[in-house]
Amino acid sequence: MSETLLRALQDLREGRIVLVYDADDRERETDMVIPSEMVTPATIRMMRKDAGGLICTTVHNDIRENIGIPYLADIFSDISDRYPVLSKLTPDDIPYDAKSAFSITINHRKTFTGITDNDRALTISEFAKLSRAALSTANGWAKDEFGKHFRAPGHVYLLNARKDLLVTRTGHTELATALMVMAGVTPTATICEMMGDDGNSLPKESAQKYATKHDIRFLEGREIVKAWRSGEWSR
């Protein structure tokens, strides 16, 4: 495992953001990534100001199954008989992906509008707490707690990671979730794409310069995939 990846994992354990570029043949985007359990209002502020993309929270498959969190595309499919227009919106033409990771949007019930830095940080950190508990419980407890403490729709976008992490899909959802597993923290990450001032995603070279300027680790998706598949991180 590379020294950069080792240092990045330690940064994540300490609640620091790392940058992850997926691949030249995929989205060609760099995301800010941090463990959801360590998100603060300052994290949200940094993401919306310095990154500018959509702030999302990933969900490990074990958490998804224990809580019962669906894929949004599956929800649309299930209710398309009632709302036929939804059947026409099937995301089957994504040029870099086979299936969208998007799930539902949530707010914690103690939030007000849900969109402020404080509100989103509360929703994300509380979701991380529930996620950790959900990994060690069964019998519907997590489902009940989810409904008790969260409402939908909201302002935090959940992204479901594939069960076979980094096998059939190597998007930011899987890359970030795998990093959480490798770092030994609760396997939910909060991520945000870095945007450029020209209306497009921030070029990789610009993201690397940002990382150097702010002393942030910059990772390429391929090195995360290589370490994950080799099992180096678990030795």
Active site residues: 31, 56, 96, 107, 155, 193
Q: Report which secondary-structure segment, H or E, holds 30.
A: strand 30-35
Which of 131, 106, 97, 93 lies closest to 55, judged by CA?
A: 106
Chain position carrying tokens 């940064």:
11
CA distances for 101 relative to 1, 46, 64, 170, angstroms: 28, 24, 12, 11
DSSP-derived 3-state class of residue 211: helix
Write out the two tokens for 166: 């980094």
Contacts of 20 (CB under 8 A, 6+ apart): 30, 31, 33, 172, 175, 176, 179, 191, 219, 220, 221, 224
Contacts with 42 (C-beta within 8 Å, 6 or more apart), sequence order: 117
